[in-house]
């Protein structure tokens, strides 16, 4: 009897064991350094939902940092035709193990049904010198989503995130003017300013992808009125229109739109929408002046203008 029960138990284990293609094989533990998962762990389900599979993404939200990438992904995830990746991996920035890592990257994608498109978001890709060529090598027909905000507002939002992160980790902080100004002039080497040079970064992407494969989402408009921007994304991704006005409601306490779907309501993490610090008017003017020509160059490259200072 014991032998019979043991055989039955083994058969059950075999029936529910994950097929080889669903087993995460690399890396076996979270790594450190560029491209690592940091404190995030990935635990793929041993039994995938029936009829689903893991695939490399059909679309990637490539940036920009503090432009609204998380909001865009969460809002697109309302659509039944979208399977959104939960993990941000910065894979295409990696300098090592690229060929081996591509298979691991695929395993991090969500399980999706045949009618769904998979979407990943990693805002650092937009400013990465490596990402455009590597993404093109993976899938030259992939559709790219780029969400941008007024570059000056993005710089201040970037500073705000770092400021609060340092406070939470009991590290010293600097006033924003002390970061933005060096020796009486604008500190153009400040990373947050470099990230807002949209014309510089988009040129690198246009070397590898035609403009019609890059859809630019207006992050400022997405905050004020999300539906029109999401409808444009639906059309770009050739998704049937499923996102509607009732999927959003304005949260007076938080000061931005939250999501309503499948009978549930949810807002972005409390770290989103933090109030920006006041900035000296002369420093703001320096930022506006510095970005003005870069913005014009960007408008010319993408054939579109934005309501930026």
Is 41 marked as a binding-site residue?
no
Is 121 marked as a binding-site residue?
no
Token representation of residue 63: 């940036």
Is 68 marked as a binding-site residue?
yes
Is 272 marked as a binding-site residue?
yes
Active-site pick, 66, 171, 191, 203: 66
Is 184 marked as a binding-site residue?
no
d(CA 309, CA 291): 8
Is 67 marked as a binding-site residue?
yes
Has 66 been annotated as catalytic? yes
Is 111 marked as a binding-site residue?
no
Is 171 marked as a binding-site residue?
no
Is 70 marked as a binding-site residue?
yes
Is 122 marked as a binding-site residue?
no
Is 54 marked as a binding-site residue?
no
Token representation of residue 169: 């980790």
Is 208 marked as a binding-site residue?
no
Is 257 marked as a binding-site residue?
yes
DSSP for the chain, please give it: -HHHHHHHHHHHHHHHSPPGGGS--S-SS---STT--TT------SSPPTT-EE---SEEEEE-TTSSHHHHHHHHTTSTTEEE------GGG-SSSHHHHHHHHHHHSPEE-TT-EEEEE-GGGGG-SSHHHHHHHH-TT-EEEEEE--HHHHHHHHHHHHHHHHHHTT-----HHHHHEETTEE-TTSHHHHHT-HHHHHHHHHTTS-GGGEEEEEHHHHHH-HHHHHHHHHHHTT------GGGEEEETTTTEEEEEETTEEE---TTTTPPPPP--HHHHHHHHHHHHHHHHHHHHHHT------
Report the binding-site residues.
66-70, 149, 157, 257, 272-276
The residues annotated with a catalytic role in the active site are 66
Report the binding-site residues for 3'-phosphoadenylyl sulfate.
66-70, 149, 157, 257, 272-276
């Amino acid at each position: 009897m014991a032998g019979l029960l043991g055989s039955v138990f083994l058969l059950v284990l075999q029936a529910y064991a994950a097929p080889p293609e669903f087993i995460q094989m690399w890396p076996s533990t979270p790594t450190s350094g560029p491209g690592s998962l940091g404190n995030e762990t990935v635990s793929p389900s041993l039994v995938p939902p029936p009829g689903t599979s893991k695939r490399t993404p059909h679309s990637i939200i490539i940036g920009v940092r503090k432009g609204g990438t998380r909001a865009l992904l969460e809002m697109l995830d309302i659509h039944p035709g979208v399977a959104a990746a939960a993990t941000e991996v910065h894979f295409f920035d990696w300098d090592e193990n690229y060929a081996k890592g591509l298979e691991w990257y695929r395993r991090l994608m969500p399980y999706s049904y045949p009618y769904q498109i998979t979407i990943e978001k990693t805002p650092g890709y937009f400013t990465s010198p490596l990402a455009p060529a590597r993404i093109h090598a993976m899938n030259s027909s992939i559709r790219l989503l780029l969400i941008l905000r007024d570059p000056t507002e993005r710089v201040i939002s970037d500073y705000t995130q770092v400021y609060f992160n340092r406070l939470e980790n009991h590290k010293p902080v600097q006033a924003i003017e002390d970061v933005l100004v060096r020796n009486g002039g604008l500190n153009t080497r400040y990373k947050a300013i470099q990230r807002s040079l949209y014309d510089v970064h988009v040129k690198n992407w246009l070397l590898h992808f035609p403009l019609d494969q890059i859809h630019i989402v207006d992050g400022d408009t997405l905050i004020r009125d999300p539906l029109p921007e999401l409808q444009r994304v639906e059309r770009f991704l050739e998704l049937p229109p499923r996102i509607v006005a009732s999927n959003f409601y304005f949260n007076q306490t938080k000061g931005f739109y939250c999501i309503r779907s499948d009978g549930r309501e949810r807002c972005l993490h409390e770290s989103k929408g933090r109030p920006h610090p006041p900035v000296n008017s002369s420093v703001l003017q320096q930022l506006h002046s510095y970005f003005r020509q870069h913005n014009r160059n960007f408008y010319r490259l993408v054939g579109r203008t934005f309501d930026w200072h």
